[in-house]
Every structure is written in structure tokens, then in C-alpha cells.
Structure 1
Amino acid sequence: MRWEEARRCGSGLSPLTQALSKTTVHHERGDWRLVGDKMFVKAIVFWAAWSMLLLFGEGAPVSELPWSCPQKCDCHHEKLQVNCSWKHFTGVPEGFSTETQSLNLSHNRLRTLGRRQFSSLTQLWELDLSYNGIAMIEVDAFQGLQSLRTLYIKNNRLKIIPVGVFSGLTSLHLLDVSNNEILVFLDYTFRELVGLRLLDTGTNDLVFISNRAFTDLQNLEELNVDRCNLTSIPTEALSQLQSLIRLRFRRLNISILPNNSFRQLLRLRTLEITHWPSLDTVAGNSLMGLNLTFLTISYCNLTAVPYAALRHLVYLSYLDLSFNPITALHGNLLGDLVRLQELHLAGGNLLKVQPDALRGLGFFRVLNVSSNQLSTLEEGVFHSVGNLQTLRLDGNPLACDCRLLWVVRRRLRLNFDGRPPSCSTPEKVRGRNFRDFSEVELPGLFTCRPSRIVDRRPQELMVEEGATVAFTCSADGDPSPSISWLTIQQTVLPSTGRVRVLNNGTLEVRYAQVQDSGTFLCVASNAAGNDSISVSLHVLQLPPNHNRTISYFPEESFSLVPAPPATNATAQVSGSFPFDAKTLVIAMTMGFLSFLSSVAICFIFMFFWSQSKGQIKHNANIDFVPRTSMGGGDGVDTGKFTMKLI
């Protein structure tokens, strides 16, 4: 019966068991009954072995495999993870399975890592040693971890990393040593980390990075340096990182970005410089040689856009200069950045964005000038407002007049990033959101009044040389017009110099000269129109023997009438003489002493030079032939001088 049952159940057995059962039944009819019983037992054994093979070899879950887990630790067999964090370990525990791939030893009380501490964990991929107070790591501490990809040693008390600590970690991709007390990176600190992709060194006490500290990091793609005591850019050390793509410098106390700060970083695409409160100078060639696409220089002390440094970055598409005390965005100075798409200048002191400031930027899409002091943003700023997609104007004291009409008319198409701008003036629209206006009311609200020069009385002055004169020019309009002065050759006069335009629009000519004679044009302009008026100046040349008076005018003042002629030959200067007697005596004494010192040095030098020439002939004979009155030399005796050299 057993064999019949086995035969009937053969379909549920393995092929090997089915074959054995058939053979046993066949021999049951002869004298092989005993043998058949033995064969049945063997079949059962083979069936059990085959079932176990399927269970553990093919279908058994990982959780049922034998696993070694240290006491107090939490082990996840299916993920090959061991979590020993917050267990108050003072040393690395033992008993890890050799198949462990992730080990978390953070938030313990480890103080020192000895040599080959983890050598048995050859399959380990991730190791976290953060928040332990580790003060010392011995050389070869990680030897044997040839499969390790990620290593966290952040938030410890390391002051120095001995050369050779990372020996054997050729497969490491990420290393985090931030929030330690590291003072210096020595030569070859990161030796053998040939596979490293990301290095985070932020928040340390770094004062120096050796020139060869980053040797062997030929595949490093990202470097973070944050909150340390570096006083200069480690240019030589950075030049070793030929594959660097992203570089982040945060919270440093460096005041100047010198020329060629990042030379040889040809693959660098992202440079982030943030929270440098002392940085006020970006040298013209500081970014020379870079092919950046993303540049951030924010939370610094820049008072002007570093146009000279930016002009080389023809591949730049994203520029962030936010939270700098920049007051103006000038026109026609960003044209070299032909691929620029985004400009962020939020949180600054912007008072004006001049027309054509973004001229030539055909791919421009995003402008963020929120939280500044702008009263308007004119359409002429952009190369083409049709390409503009996102505009942030919120946080500015905007004057809602004709200059902003182009923004309001595009209020439904423009993306304000959830913060639409609102009006500050005039009173009738104060506080109103740009999206609240209807098309019907726009022509009556967003209006401007053209510029008009108030006093149009002729101004023609005739003065003598040396006089200081001024021409006034005032205008009104809405918005308030700007005043500029031009020469007859259409040259715009500056706000500094002998002939200058004052802040109140007055043209001042100091110490008038004959060549200053001519016609000047005052132009008052705003968004609604321009107005102009001309003035005339004629400077009389004084006779050569005429006694002239030279009047001294302080830098901040001017006179509307010429100075009266002098009655004697003495030049009269209003104000005190710039030097007193004591100053002159000191200056003459210093000059005399300097002269004597120079002479003494020359004599001493000549003395030692002559001594170095050895034996010197002190007498010299000089023959000469005197000239005759007729120009001939016949019959004249040759004379001879003897000269003694001193």
C-alpha cells in the first residue's frame, strides 16, 4: 500500500523521487520486497534533501539565514544593516556579520579608532561615525574596507587627520568630515581616495590647506568648505582638482577675491560664494579661465556688480548677487553674458535699474529684484520683454505710473512666484495689488506728466578768466525728471571735475578758461518726454600784464559772480595757506637728510667696488695736440698731461 500511495502521490514529488518509486513498485512483485522497502526509505531521504535545497538555495528568505548581531545593536537582516547608534558604546563592538553592508555607530562615546578596526567587514558600503567625540584616528584605521562607498565622520573632535588614515578606501565616493576642529590639511591628507566624488569639510577651524592636500582626488566632483578660518583662497590646492564640477565656499572672512583664484578648474560649472561679510572686492580676472554656468555671490559686501569679473563667463546661465548693498544696475555692461537666463538681485539697496541694463541677453527669462528700493522698472531695461517669464518686484516702493504699465498689462502672463507687486504711490492706488487692476481703469491710473523746465529765462554770462560761474536748471514732471547737461558737441558733462553738474541740476564752471566759452544745453527727461534749454558762456581773456586774482573755492561751494580784480601783483587766496611753517621745515629737513644718505651710500658703494678691482693704476698720461688758429696741425708740438686718480 505504501508504494501505491507513493505512486499515486508521485505527481507531487520531484522527478528523482518519482523514478525511485516506480522502480520500487516494479520490484515488489518479485523477491525484492525488502530491497524495495530500503529503496523507499532512500527515496524519502532524497525527497527531503531536494525540498531543503529548494527552500534554502532558491526560495529561502534572507531573514532565515544565520546572522551575527552584536549585543545592544538593532540588525535588519533583509537590508544587511546594523544600527548601533545611541547605545553608549565607548569602543567599536564585535560580532558583526561579514555580510553587513551598512553600519551606524553614530551618537556613541567613541574617542579613538585603532588600526584595522573594521577589517573583517569587507562587504561594508556605508559607515557612520558621527557625533562620537572622536579625537584621534590611527593610520590604516579603515584598512580592509575596499567596498566602502560612504563615510561620515562629522561632528567629532578631530584636530588633524594624519596622512594614511584613509588608506585602502579606493572605492569611497562620499566623505564628510564637517563640524570638527581640524586646523590644517597636510600634504597627501586624502591619499588613495582616487574614487572620491564628494568631500564636505565644512565648519572646521581650518587656517591652512597645503598645496598638495588634494593630491589623488582626480575624480572629485564636489567640494564644500564652510565656516572656517581661511584668510585666502587655497588656489594651489584647488588646482589639483581637475574634475571638480561644484565648489561651495560659505561663511568665510576673506575681503578680496584676487586674480586667478580658481585657475585650472576647467570643468567647474557651479561656484557658490555666500555669507562673506567682508568680501567687498572681486578682482577683474578673479574668475578668469572658468566655464561656469551657475554663479552665486550672495550675503557679501559688494556695493557694485563686478562687471569686469563677469565678462569672461560667456556660458553663464544663472547669476545670483542677492543680499549685497548694490545700488544700481548699469546699462550695457552685461552684454557679454549672452547665455544668461536668470538674474537674482534680491535683498539689496537697488535704487535704479538703468535702461538697456539687460541689453543683448536674448535668452533672459527670470529677474528677481525683490526687497530693494526700486520705484520703477522700465520696459527698456530688457532686450525683449516677450521672453520674460518670471518677475519678482515685490518688496519695493513702486510708483505706479506709465513706467510700470507694461508690467500690469502682462500681469496675467507673468509669473510673480506667488508674490505679485503692489503700489506705494500715488495715494489713490497705494497698497493695490497689480492683479487687482482692470483693463478699463489702467489708462486713467498709470499715467505720466512730461518734463517741463520751470525757468526758461535766457542765461548768458560774460566773465573774465579765473571766475567761477553757475547755470541753474530746474524742471517738474511726473515722474520727477532727471537733469543732464550737454556741450554743443553733444558730450554729456560729468558730475566731477572743473566743469561739473551738481546734484541739484546746476552746471558749475570753476576757474573759467577761454576754451570754456560756448553754448551748453540743459535736458530734463522722464518717461513721458523731454524738455531742454540752452545757456551761453563767454570767457574774456585777460591781458598778459594784467594783475590777476586767483580765488580759492572749496569743493562743495561755487560763486555766481566773478571775483573782483586785484589791485596789486600779489595773488589773493581766500582761505588759509595749505602748509604752515612747521610743516615746511620738517619737509625740507627730511629731504636734505634723504639727499645726504643717498650721497653717502653712493660713496660707500664706489669704495667697495674699487677695492674689488685689485691693483689700480693711480697715474695716467694723456697726450693731446692743440688746435692752431688756421686749423692745421703742422709744426705744433704735442702736449702731455699727467693726471693722478684719487
Structure 2
Amino acid sequence: MENGTFLGLTSLQTLDLDGNDITKIRSGAFRGLSSLKSIDLSNKEIQNIESGAFIGLTSLESLDLSRNKITTMENGTFLGLTSLQTLDLDGNDITKIRSDVFRGLSSLKSIDLSNKEINNIESGAFIGLASLESLDLSRNKITNMENATFLGLTSLKKLDLSNKEINNIESDTFIGLISLESLDLSRNKITNMDNATFLGLTSLKKLDLSNKEINNIESDTFIGLTSLAYLDLSRNKITNMENATFLGLTSLKKLDLSNKEINNIESGAFIGLTSLAYLDLSRNKITNMDNATFLGLTSLKKLLCNKPSKRSIDKQFYVLDPTKSSETFNGLQILMKCTFSSGNEALYKVSG
């Protein structure tokens, strides 16, 4: 596409170039389209976008460049797109996100960078995107998340880092994400997390850590996540739930620990989860639970777990009768339903 291709079309608002075999967009190609609000350049053969290619598109709100063959984005690629709100770069061959590549996109609310070959994000890559609310980096080849990777994204609410090769998250990786509400780290290769992994995520409500290689959760890992309502740790390799593992999660309502290798739950493992209403411990290898296993779960309404053997726990566990001798469920005053993975189900309601 040459400079000035669309000169004179000053009232045009939507441009769909579907079905064209464009391979390169030259600087100034869209000059004169001052009223344009949407461009669809998806499913093409675009390999190269010159700096200043979108200059003059001051009204543009949506730009779709998905499923092309773009390999690099230089500084100045998106220069002048001051009204842009949605940018779709899904399914290209980009390997690196350069520092300042998105500078000037002050109105941008959503970026899709999924299904790519990205293996490196330079420090400061997202600087200037103060309005961004959603960032999708799923299905890439990033292995390490560096300190302050997302610095400047103060309005970000949703971050998808799933289906990657991530095996390490440095301390303070998520620093500055004060508005983040949803973080998806599922299906990666992370094995361990420390107490600075999620530092500063005070607005986080949903955290997905499922389908990972996690075998250890350090004490205080979740400290500071005071708004977290949903935590998915299913399908990992954790074998032991230590005392006070979830300390600080006072707003947590749903916790999924299913499909794991858990064989032991220490007394007080769930201490502090005063708002928890749903707990899934099904499809694990738990052989023993004592009378402090569920200590502090005063709001729990539904519990899913394996059917234990008669050797591992008092037989009264099956009927969940609080008047009998078993103290395993002491403190669960409002538990209404317990479902065993074998298909057996029991209802529990404290009288009086």
C-alpha cells in the first residue's frame, strides 16, 4: 500500500480490506482518512509496517492486524493513533515487544498479542498505556517474566498469560498493576512462587494458577491479595498443604484444589479463610484429616472431597452428623452440602 492511496476520502469511517494480498504498509498509506474509525487488515500476508504507516488517523478507534505475518514492530509503528481503543495483533510472527513501541496510544483499552512467537518483552514496552484495561499475551513462548514488565499499566483490569512456556516469575513482576482484577497464569511451567510474586495486586479478584507444575507454595505467597474472591490451583503437583498457606485471603469465596497430588493437609491450612463458601478437594490422594483440618472455615457452604477409607477417618464422616464423635467438621456451622468424588453425597445442616 503506497503513500496517499486513499487521499480525498475524508468522510470514510470504516475500511475493510479483506481478500487483498497486502504484504507491506508504507508510511502515510492512510493519509487523508481523518474520519476513519475502524480498519480491518486481518488474514493477509502483511510482513512489514513502516514507521508512520498510520499517521493522520486521528479518529481511528479499532485496528485489526490479526493473522498476518508481521515479524517486527518498530518504534513509531502506531504513531498518531491518539484515539485508538482496540488493537488486535493476534496470530502474527512477532518474537519481541520493543520498548516504547506502543508509545502515544494514550486511549488504548485493549491489546491482543496472543498466538504469537513472542519470547521477549523489553522493559518499558507498555509505558504510556495508562488507559489499557485488557492485555492478552496467551499462547506465546515467553519463559521468564522480569521485574516491572507491566510498569505503567495503572488501569489494567485483565491480564492473560496462559498457555505459555513461563517457568519463572521474578519478584515485583506485577508491580504497579493497582487496578488488576483478573490474572490468568494457567497452563505454564511455573514450579514455585514466593511471597513477592503477587506483591501490590490489592484489587485482584480472580487468580488462575491451574494446569501447572507447581509443587510448592511458600508461606505468605498470597499475602496482600485482600480482594481475591476466586483462586484456582487445580491440576498441579502440590503434595502437602502447609499451615496458614492461604493467610491473608480474607475475601476468598471459592478455592479449587482438585486434581492434585495432595496427600496431606496440615492443621490450620485454611486458617484465615473466613469468607470461603466453596472448597474443592476432589480427586486427590488425601488419606488423613484431623479435627483442625477445616479450622476457621465459618462461611463454608459446599465441600467437595474424596471419599476416605474407613482406616483414615472416623466412620461418622460419611453421614456428617455433628452430634456424633467425629470432630473433623467442627466449626463448619453453615455447611449445607458435601459431595464425594465417588458420587456419594451427604447433606449437612446444624440444628438450632
With the shorter chain as reference, the TM-score category is 0.7 to 0.9
**Once the two structures are superposed, what CA deviation does each residue of 1:188-242 show, in whole Å capped at 9, x if it has no partner?**
1111110011212122111344434223212212222223333321223321323
Q: How much does 1:303 deviate?
A: 0.8
- Which residue is equivalent to 1:166? 54
- Which residue is equivalent to 1:260? 148
- Which residue is equivalent to 2:170? 283
**Once the two structures are superposed, what CA deviation does each residue of 1:269-290 show, in whole Å capped at 9, x if it has no partner?**
333212222x222112322333
Q: How much does 1:161 deviate?
A: 0.8
Structure 1 residue 426 corresponds to structure 2 residue 309: yes
What are the ranges of 5 or more consecutive residues in structure 1 without an aligned counterpart? 1-112, 449-646
**Once the two structures are superposed, what CA deviation does each residue of 1:442-461 show, in whole Å capped at 9, x if it has no partner?**
9478879xxxxxxxxxxxxx
AA aligned opposite 1:324:
K
| Mapped partners of 2:274, 2:130: distance in 1 | 40
AA aligned opposite 1:426:
S
Identity of aligned residues (%): 27
Alignment of 1:337-376 (within 5 A): 337-375=225-263
Structure 1 residue 202 corresponds to structure 2 residue 90: yes
- CA 1:311/1:186 → structure 2, altered by over 3 Å: closer, same or farther? closer
Structure 1 residue 327 corresponds to structure 2 residue 210: no
| Mapped partners of 1:294, 1:141: distance in 2 | 38
AA aligned opposite 2:146:
P
Kept in 2: contact 1:401–1:445 (CA 8 A): no
Structure 1 residue 218 corresponds to structure 2 residue 101: no
| Mapped partners of 2:267, 2:279: distance in 1 | 12
| Bigger relative CO (Cα 8 Å, ≥ 6 apart) | 2
Structure 1 residue 390 corresponds to structure 2 residue 273: no
State the SS of the aligned residue for 2:137: strand
Kept in 2: contact 1:137–1:165 (CA 8 A): yes
State the SS of the aligned residue for 1:364: coil
Structure 1 residue 145 corresponds to structure 2 residue 33: yes
| Mapped partners of 2:293, 2:168: distance in 1 | 37
- CA 1:320/1:403 → structure 2, altered by over 3 Å: closer, same or farther? farther
Kept in 2: contact 1:377–1:404 (CA 8 A): no
- CA 1:259/1:411 → structure 2, altered by over 3 Å: closer, same or farther? closer
**Once the two structures are superposed, what CA deviation does each residue of 1:463-493 show, in whole Å capped at 9, x if it has no partner?**
xxxxxxxxxxxxxxxxxxxxxxxxxxxxxxx
| Mapped partners of 1:385, 1:261: distance in 2 | 31
Kept in 2: contact 1:185–1:210 (CA 8 A): yes
- Which residue is equivalent to 1:44? none
- TM-score, normalised relative to structure 1: 0.45
What are the ranges of 5 or more consecutive residues in structure 2 without an aligned counterpart? 330-352
- Which residue is equivalent to 2:269? 381
Structure 1 residue 181 corresponds to structure 2 residue 69: yes
| Mapped partners of 1:360, 1:177: distance in 2 | 42
State the SS of the aligned residue for 2:184: strand
Kept in 1: contact 2:193–2:221 (CA 8 A): no
Structure 1 residue 312 corresponds to structure 2 residue 200: yes
**Once the two structures are superposed, what CA deviation does each residue of 1:53-87 show, in whole Å capped at 9, x if it has no partner?**
xxxxxxxxxxxxxxxxxxxxxxxxxxxxxxxxxxx
Alignment of 1:24-103 (within 5 A): none
Q: How much does 1:332 deviate?
A: 3.9
- CA 1:263/1:406 → structure 2, altered by over 3 Å: closer, same or farther? closer
- CA 1:377/1:117 → structure 2, altered by over 3 Å: closer, same or farther? farther
AA aligned opposite 2:84:
L
- Which residue is equivalent to 2:130? 242
| Mapped partners of 2:57, 2:275: distance in 1 | 50
- CA 1:191/1:316 → structure 2, altered by over 3 Å: closer, same or farther? same
Q: How much does 1:184 deviate?
A: 1.0
Instruction: Point out the structure with the larger helix share.
Output: 1
| Mapped partners of 2:299, 2:224: distance in 1 | 30
State the SS of the aligned residue for 1:380: coil
Query: What RMSD over aligned residues (CA atoms) do the two structures have, in Å?
Result: 3.4
- CA 1:386/1:284 → structure 2, altered by over 3 Å: closer, same or farther? closer
| Mapped partners of 2:121, 2:104: distance in 1 | 20
- Which residue is equivalent to 1:133? 21
| Mapped partners of 1:341, 1:118: distance in 2 | 50
Q: How much does 1:393 deviate?
A: 2.5
Structure 1 residue 302 corresponds to structure 2 residue 210: no
Q: How much does 1:379 deviate?
A: 7.1
- CA 1:345/1:159 → structure 2, altered by over 3 Å: closer, same or farther? same
AA aligned opposite 1:252:
N
Kept in 1: contact 2:197–2:221 (CA 8 A): no
Kept in 2: contact 1:361–1:383 (CA 8 A): no
Structure 1 residue 413 corresponds to structure 2 residue 301: yes
**Once the two structures are superposed, what CA deviation does each residue of 1:73-102 show, in whole Å capped at 9, x if it has no partner?**
xxxxxxxxxxxxxxxxxxxxxxxxxxxxxx
Q: How much does 1:394 deviate?
A: 2.9
| Mapped partners of 2:262, 2:181: distance in 1 | 28
**Once the two structures are superposed, what CA deviation does each residue of 1:511-535 show, in whole Å capped at 9, x if it has no partner?**
xxxxxxxxxxxxxxxxxxxxxxxxx
Alignment of 1:584-623 (within 5 A): none
**Once the two structures are superposed, what CA deviation does each residue of 1:363-382 show, in whole Å capped at 9, x if it has no partner?**
22121222211235567233
| Mapped partners of 1:394, 1:126: distance in 2 | 52
**Once the two structures are superposed, what CA deviation does each residue of 1:586-643 show, in whole Å capped at 9, x if it has no partner?**
xxxxxxxxxxxxxxxxxxxxxxxxxxxxxxxxxxxxxxxxxxxxxxxxxxxxxxxxxx
Q: How much does 1:174 deviate?
A: 1.6
Q: How much does 1:349 deviate?
A: 0.9
AA aligned opposite 1:295:
L
Aligned residues: 324
AA aligned opposite 1:296:
D
Kept in 2: contact 1:329–1:352 (CA 8 A): no
- TM-score, normalised relative to structure 2: 0.78
